[in-house]
Amino acid sequence: MLPDFPKLRIELSRRLHAEFKREVHRQAPLLAQIKVVAQHEGKGGSYETEDGEIKSIKQRRSSVPLGPPESGPAFGYAEARSSVAAAAAEMGRAQTKMLFERLDEEVAEVGNSLDAGGQPLSAEMILSLWDRMQFDFDRYGRPKMPTLVFNPIHHERVDEQFKRLATEPKLIKLKRDIMNRKRLDWDDRESRRKLVD
Amino acid sequence: MIERVVENWLTSMNERGGYEVAFRQLLAFKGHRILHQSSHGQMEQGKDIITIAPDNVPCAYQLKAEGDIGLPTWRRIKGEVDDLIEIPIQHPSVANDFMFHRAYLVNNGYLKDTVRRRIHDQNRVNAKRGYPSLNVIQLGDLHKDFVEIHGRFLPSQPREFKRFLELFLFDGSALLPTGQFSMFLLSALAIKEERIRNTELRRAIASTVVLANYVLSSFRDASNHVSLINGWVMVAAHIVAASRKAALSLKSWNASFQMSINAAEDALKAFANEILSRTDFRQGDPLTDGLVYQVRMTLILGYLTAYDNYLHLKGEESESQLAIKQFVETHMNELLLWSEGAIPLFLSVAWFLERVNRQMLAEHVLFRVVTTIVKGNAPEEGHLGLADPYHTVEDVLRAHHGLDRGEMSEEDFEGHSYGLQSLVELLARRRRRRGLAFMWEDISRLCYSEFIPKPRWATYLWYAERGELHHRFPKKPESWKRLVQVAEDSNFRQVENVLKQSPEFLFLFLLVYPHRLRPIFVRLLDNQFSKAT
């Protein structure tokens, strides 16, 4: 066997893996917001819906190759980090794609999708989307606004539509009405958190 | 190598407890029926073990770990040896008129010539007086038997042997590394093998008890009773797993199972004796002791009350109940719920308090745990939350003190709980509607998590490869009637017979395997406690 440094390399490997995870979250901030519940044993999972239906959780695997830098047999820590960062970016993309596929399936299942009919995103469409969604509110009564994911090429348009939502009196009123309705719905839902006879 | 390992084990121990369980297992394997084993403490009439030999002759054994016995040692132990020979065996299974039992002195060394001659002479005198002769089982005999019967079950693959030695050399003052110990038991019992002949499995079970006795010796030497309790309960649980997997008859494994449970009971008793004789519970470096003190006190309160609860479930009374009650009342403010892994300890304290008529205090303990969980694991509070029961206390402490979050850094504990449903049901059984109603808003925000191992025998393993993690939110609104109905459901068809028939084992099992705490098990135990109360 060739001379080696197993203990040191395990530590380095741990550190690089930690960097990998951090980088995945940096590249795909949406993933970073998702809570991770570890399953320590077994492989199957299920959950009960509010209607009492038991649904099984199908686990999906996502993987990306993570190899050494191509610079040669010898490389520095910075180069190893770059390799890790590249793989993390790929993982971020793969997991985000998987997330949206899953989301699409779920949304389709409950029939809650909105077809824009090829129209560009508008403030009215955003309001219409919010109107179909369930909102939660924080302890001060402020709505927990959902995350809107869009293609970066639409950045300017999205910004513009959100500005309209914040400035046009008609849209402001519509938004306020929707949020008031949502707050009432939320109040109603929250008031069900109790023990009854 | 195997011979050297066994010899090293036998010669290095300095008290009989070091090989007592293994020796009992040896006798059982040779066909003896074990009638009695004295626990730590005073011997009864010089007899540590009483058996019926395969030829139906009663036998009495006195175990020593004196090394080589010369005259001074002989003079010291002679009184006990005389009792062993001269006092007839008094046991319901031995006829009163049976005068001639076989008497054995067992020791992990050799007799010096002078002592051997004395025994020889004494045997001649005894024969004339109508007493049995003294037989001596020495190091060589023990060594030969252990190697012959169990030696081939010693780990032979380098990886397994390494694990075996690592456990043997483990720091006896630390808590037993449960995951590592389980790996050792899996391999000793060949649980992962697809097929194993029943005769082979029976031998493996017997040998596992002997090997466990060996690898747990560092904890025994350090009087680390909690680790010994954990170790022996794990041995018993893995024996059940292996036997159930192979559909072995109860008769084939019950003796080894009982020996492991008895060893755990001995350790519980020794633990209770130690705790009740102390007034100061600090230990080691004072600079760091305060950082772990509350965790230690929680373990102490949990295991101490577990001793009394265990005896109660067995239908026996503990002589120390009053002292334990006073101890709990004095120290219960020092309890700390460091993670969901500590819930069984709190349950033990609560069940004990109920049994000694401190109902309100018991319910206070239960509510305290529920409050800590619903506040600690409330969703979106942005804190770490209470770790799930899969993380060892040491992992949790490391994270808490900012040393290293290890695997915990990849998990979020908020929003769910493994123990909450069991606790809610316990309180519903006690009709604490107002308290629960007050907290229901917070309770309903947490998801109940429950892992159900598959197949059922995998319940007894530390880690089940197959199984399902089930998540469920409490109902909104929840019907009190329905909640009480579920909490009082006494349909235990899903529970293994071993656990139903031996609730005292189930109780210890949950104490050691907090990740197996499922509502159905807690209901079953609560039923047992209420029945007995």
What pLDDT is recorded for position B87? 86
As a whole number of angstroms, the distance between CA B11 and CA B15 comes to 11
As a whole number of angstroms, the distance between CA A18 and CA B407 comes to 11
Contact of A197 with chain B, judged by CB distance below 8 Å, is answered with yes
As a whole number of angstroms, the distance between CA B533 and CA B527 comes to 10
Report yes or no on A79 lying in a domain.
Answer: yes
What pLDDT is recorded for position A82? 92
- Mutation pick from A195, A196, A197 vs chain B, by most beta carbons of B within 10 Å, is A195
Map residue A55 onto helix, strand or coil. strand
Residue among B248, B205, B210, B212 nearest B230 (CA): B212
Enumerate the H helices of B250-320 as residue ranges: 250-276, 286-314
Three-point CA angle A193, A194, A197, nearest 5°: 140
Interface contact B470-A18, CB threshold 8 A: no
What is the CA B190 to chain-centroid distance, rounded? Answer: 21
Strands B58-64 and B102-107: parallel
Close Cβ partners of A15 (under 8 Å, ≥ 6 residues apart): none
Report yes or no on A197 lying in a domain.
Answer: no
Number of domains in chain A: 2
Map residue B256 onto helix, strand or coil. helix
Q: How many CB atoms lie within 10 A of CB A71?
A: 11
| pLDDT tens, residue by residue, B412-439 | 898 999 999 999 999 999 999 999 999 9
| pLDDT tens, residue by residue, B162-196 | 888 889 889 999 999 999 999 999 988 989 888 88
Report yes or no on A129 lying in a domain.
Answer: yes
Band (B371; pLDDT cuts 50, 70, 90): very high
What pLDDT is recorded for position B40? 46
Domain match, A156 and A186 both: yes
Domain match, A104 and A134 both: no
Contacts of A35 in chain B (CB under 8 A): 379, 412, 414-415
Q: Which residue of A has its CA nearest to B434?
A: A195
Q: pTM here? A: 0.84
Domain match, A83 and A60 both: yes
Domain residues for A105?
6-34+56-110
Report yes or no on A15 lying in a domain.
Answer: yes
Domain match, A105 and A135 both: no
Query: Residue B452: pLDDT above 70?
Result: yes
Cβ(B102)–Cβ(B62) below 8 Å: no
Map residue A144 onto helix, strand or coil. coil
Mean pLDDT of the residues in chain B: 90
Report yes or no on A182 lying in a domain.
Answer: yes
- For residue A39, give the nearest of B440, B469, B472 by CB distance: B469
Contacts of A190 in chain B (CB under 8 A): 441
Task: Please give the helix or strand (H or E) that residue B233 lies within, else none.
Answer: helix B225-245
Residue keyed to tokens 């959780």: A57
| Of B347-356, B508-517, B523-532, minimum mean pLDDT range | B523-532
| pLDDT tens, residue by residue, B220-243 | 889 999 999 999 999 999 999 999
Residue keyed to tokens 């697809």: B194
Q: Which residue of A has its CA nearest to B388?
A: A38
What pLDDT is recorded for position B154? 67
Give the torsion through C-alpha atoms of B61, B66, B69, B72, to 10 deg. Answer: -110
Domain match, A137 and A166 both: yes
Band (B500; pLDDT cuts 50, 70, 90): very high
Task: Provide the percentage of residues in chain B whose pLDDT is more than 70.
Answer: 94
Map residue B375 onto helix, strand or coil. helix
Query: Residue A182: pLDDT above 80?
Result: yes
Domain match, A28 and A91 both: yes
| Of A71-75, B238-242, B353-357, B457-461, minimum mean pLDDT range | A71-75
Map residue B52 onto helix, strand or coil. strand
| Of A1-5, A34-38, B105-109, B154-158, minimum mean pLDDT range | B154-158
| Of B36-40, B139-143, B179-183, minimum mean pLDDT range | B36-40
Domain match, A131 and A101 both: no
- Strand order, beta sheet including B447-454: A54-57, A44-48, B466-472, B447-454, B416-417
Domain match, A92 and A139 both: no
Three-point CA angle B50, B53, B55, nearest 5°: 150
Domain match, A98 and A161 both: no
Residue type (1 letter), A195: L
Contacts of A43 in chain B (CB under 8 A): 465-467
Query: Residue B335: pLDDT above 90?
Result: yes
Domain match, A97 and A19 both: yes
What pLDDT is recorded for position B349? 98
Domain match, A172 and A94 both: no
Domain match, A27 and A88 both: yes
Report yes or no on A49 lying in a domain.
Answer: no
| pLDDT tens, residue by residue, B116-131 | 999 999 999 988 888 8
Band (B517; pLDDT cuts 50, 70, 90): very high
